[in-house]
Amino acid sequence: MSAEIHYGGGNNEPPDQAKPLLDDRSWRGVATEDTDSDDLTRTVGVRLQARSRKLLGMLLRPHRKLALVVLLVVIVEQVAALSGPLLIAYAIDTAVPALLSGNRAPLTFALLAYLAAGIASAATRALFTAISGRISQDLLLDLRGRVFNHSQSLSLSFHEKYTSGRIISRMTSDLDTLGELLAQGVDNLVSGLLSVVVMSVALIILDAPLGLIALVAFVPIFFLTRWFQRTSLTIYRRTRTSIAALIVQFAESMNGLRAVVAFRRESRNEKIFRIENDAYAKSNGDGLIAMAVFTPGVRLIGNLSLAIVMVFGAMRVIDGATEIGVLTAFLLYLRRIYDPLDELAMFYNSFQSASAALEKLSGLLEEEPQVAEPANPVELTDPRGLVVFEQARFSYTSDTEVLPVFDLTLPAGQTVAIVGATGAGKSTVAKLLARFYDPTHGRVMLDGIALSELSTADLRRGIVMVTQESFLFSGSVADNIALGRPEATRAEIENAAEHIGAATFIRKLPDGFDTDVRKRGGRLSAGQRQLVAFARAFLADPAVLILDEATASLDIPSEQAVQAALKQVLRGRTAVIIAHRLSTVSIADRVLVMEGGAIVEDGKPDDLIAGSGRFAGLHTAWKDSLV
Ligand SMILES: Nc1ncnc2c1ncn2[C@@H]1O[C@H](COP(=O)(O)OP(=O)(O)OP(=O)(O)O)[C@@H](O)[C@H]1O
């Protein structure tokens, strides 16, 4: 889905003179998300809106036919509803006088027609609600799926900056806002607009001069709407940004709850949350104030026009220019015009709010993965595990290079431990090898093929990384092991656990392999989680395994169990271990000592220990610490 949205650049409009547009990157994707609406150039504002419309159009496209049916249903409904006053005018001016002269037929016709119109109006309303509800739910379902899939496909570097809180805000609050527009707003728009148009025509037909007087009211309404449009979009953009900031703050506090409790950060978090909460409440309040001016304003203009029409209408009846039945119908219509005007105001309000949400959603969907799957991948069916870093360079941000020219060859089957001070670049090497990131220059290759040329499936089959956190997904222990190879049989899953030495503790859990890891009793210790992660990697059976060893020290029995499991999982494959514990190094064929993004020592563990280099120093210090 990643490449589905390519919004055209549309470089026709000249950029603003005051704030020149630097290039596409200055507004594309999520770049303007935190920019205050007042700081957006007009050109950028227009482009953001065009992008939102494009997304909405794309979402609506599959529902075109049903949308046409809805339109037709609404037209029938409106005609049925609006025929009421006309029939009353007919009854007063024609049918009642006819009845007085003994002819019942016109009144019977008027009554039956009124009844038929009432039934048609109710039936079409029911149809409208059902169909439009269906369209809006399908559309939201589609959009929710797109946002989820697209967010998953985006690179880690994007998520590190964007944070999960913002994605949650897009998925919940922004989608809800759009949902409100679709549920209520479209109904308000279609019926409101049609009523206003049909009634305006009816007013002109009934009495043209009076109709024109009534329609003059639309001029001030137009200006009021323009004001509301400008003000509310700015406010709603701010609302979207502040709700995202609020959710980010909330998600961060909850994710880091242990650290919050450990460091007594509650009051500081409370303060930050209060500031975000106040900002959100303020922008919501501003939105309400704008609505409080707009909606009653429209109503007031409508009421004033009704009073004026009543005066002129009465004068015309006195002059004999119009009939009392026509004036009654006229006033009935005019009174009814307020409701649709109100509806239009409501629509406009939710439209503006949803536009701001759509701007953010379309921005997220416009982001492209930086680590993308190649269009024509090179096939690698049976990887052996030869790893080569060729002149690889890498930096997370533009200012500092973490790996300045990195060359490394790991023959297939070798177990390599990388050691070095914190920040030396060990995890960065591991992440490049797992293709969490692409090097900025040079290549990282598996069996002579650059990782960027492999399909995701081949890459994940060839190289697996076990990260520090040993994350468990909700589900059973067996499900969590099966993640390594989803098509694995139950016997294979249990066999993997057996090999790793995890089966004994798993069988002791309340439901054995079927124990839910998120439920009470199924909670695993750090060491147990690591064993499950190893079983997962063993089942995946990759040619290259990367282990970012957990820094948390395990208790001695766990440590021994983990070390034994480690030996099992490493057998017969290329392995790269980011070793935080020197005890791990003993099982390696080769040790790399890193410093400042470069390898400063490279050799067999025993040779390095026997020497007088950095590793020998580290090893002596470690040995001494054990005594
Ligand atoms: N996501 C990131 N964004 C920006 N800079 C980063 C990021 N991750 C790491 N760095 C920087 O890159 C450098 C190398 O980090 P790396 O995580 O590779 O070190 P390490 O040797 O694995 O350290 P440790 O033993 O503490 O895990 C550090 O200076 C760090 O500040």
How far is C-alpha 18 from the geometric centre of its chain's CA atoms?
33
| Ligand 1 binding pocket includes 432 (Cβ within 6 Å) | no
What tokens were used for 8?
């055209």
Residue 8 has pLDDT above 50, yes or no: no
- pLDDT tens digits, 381-415: 888 989 999 999 998 877 788 888 889 999 999 99
The CATH T-level fold of domain 387-626 is: Rossmann fold (3.40.50)
What are the extents of the domains in the chain?
Answer: 40-366, 387-626
- In this prediction, residue 221 carries a pLDDT of 85
Q: Is 344 exposed, middle or buried (0-12, 13-18, 19+ CB in 10 A)?
A: buried
Instruction: For residue 516, give the DSSP letter.
Output: B
Band (pLDDT 50/70/90 cuts) for residue 36 is: low
Residue 39 has pLDDT above 70, yes or no: no
- pLDDT tens digits, 339-363: 777 777 778 878 888 888 898 899 8
Residue 136 has pLDDT above 70, yes or no: yes
Stretch among 43-52, 98-107, 380-389, 534-543 having the lowest mean pLDDT = 43-52
Over residues 546-564, the mean pLDDT reads 66
Over residues 509-529, the mean pLDDT reads 80
Query: Among 321, 357, 148, which residue's Cα sits nearest to residue 235?
Result: 357
Q: Do 364 and 150 form a contact (C-beta atoms < 8 A)?
A: yes
Query: Among 431, 384, 434, which residue's Cα sits nearest to residue 411?
Result: 384
- In this prediction, residue 418 carries a pLDDT of 92
- In this prediction, residue 520 carries a pLDDT of 60
| Ligand 1 binding pocket includes 397 (Cβ within 6 Å) | yes
| Ligand 1 binding pocket includes 396 (Cβ within 6 Å) | yes
Beta bridge partners of 548: 578
Over residues 365-380, the mean pLDDT reads 86
The C-alpha atoms of residue 591 and residue 579 are separated, in whole angstroms, by: 10
Q: Is 385 helix (H, G, I), strand (E, B) or coil?
A: coil
Output 81 or 439, whichever has higher pLDDT. Answer: 439
The C-alpha atoms of residue 153 and residue 173 are separated, in whole angstroms, by: 21
| Ligand 1 binding pocket includes 160 (Cβ within 6 Å) | yes
Residue 551 has pLDDT above 60, yes or no: no
| Ligand 1 binding pocket includes 423 (Cβ within 6 Å) | yes
- In this prediction, residue 13 carries a pLDDT of 38
Band (pLDDT 50/70/90 cuts) for residue 116 is: very high
Dist. CA 439 → ligand 1 center (Å): 15
Residue 444 has pLDDT above 90, yes or no: yes
Beta bridge partners of 575: 415, 545
Which of 398, 400, 401, 426 to mutate to test ligand 1, by most ligand atoms within 8 A of the CB atom?
Answer: 426
Give kind and range of the element (H or E) at residue 201: helix 186-206
- pLDDT tens digits, 173-230: 889 888 888 877 777 787 778 778 877 887 888 888 888 888 888 889 889 888 888 8
Dist. CA 544 → ligand 1 center (Å): 22
- Cβ atoms within 10 Å of 200's Cβ, excluding its own: 16
* 86 Rama class: left (phi>0) / alpha (psi -120 to 50) / beta: alpha
Q: Kindly give the number of the ligand 1 atom that is closest to the alpha carbon of 429.
A: 18
Q: Residue 8: CA atoms inside 13 Å, Cβ hemisphere, count?
A: 6
Query: Among 350, 359, 243, which residue's Cα sits nearest to residue 294?
Result: 350
Determine what percent of the chain is predicted with pLDDT higher than 90.
19
For the CA atoms of 496, 500, 502, 503, the dihedral, rounded to the nearest 10 degrees, stands at 50
Band (pLDDT 50/70/90 cuts) for residue 4 is: very low
CA distances from 317 to 201, 309, 311, 312, 320 (A): 21, 12, 10, 9, 5
Output 471 or 498, whichever has higher pLDDT. Answer: 498
Residue minimizing CA distance to atom 28 of ligand 1: 423
With vertex at residue 83, the alpha carbon angle to CA 81 and CA 89, rounded to the nearest 5 degrees, is 135
Q: Kindly give the number of the ligand 1 atom that is closest to the alpha carbon of 428.
A: 18
Residue minimizing CA distance to atom 6 of ligand 1: 396
Residue minimizing CA distance to atom 3 of ligand 1: 396
Which of 427, 429, 582 to mutate to test ligand 1, by most ligand atoms within 8 A of the CB atom?
Answer: 427
CA distances from 77 to 82, 118, 239, 398, 561 (A): 8, 9, 36, 60, 74
| Ligand 1 binding pocket includes 428 (Cβ within 6 Å) | yes
Residue 34 has pLDDT above 80, yes or no: no
- In this prediction, residue 286 carries a pLDDT of 92
Q: What is the pTM of this model?
A: 0.72
CATH superfamily of 40-366: ABC transporter type 1, transmembrane domain (1.20.1560.10)
CA distances from 33 to 30, 40, 273, 358 (A): 5, 10, 20, 12
Residue type, 309: V
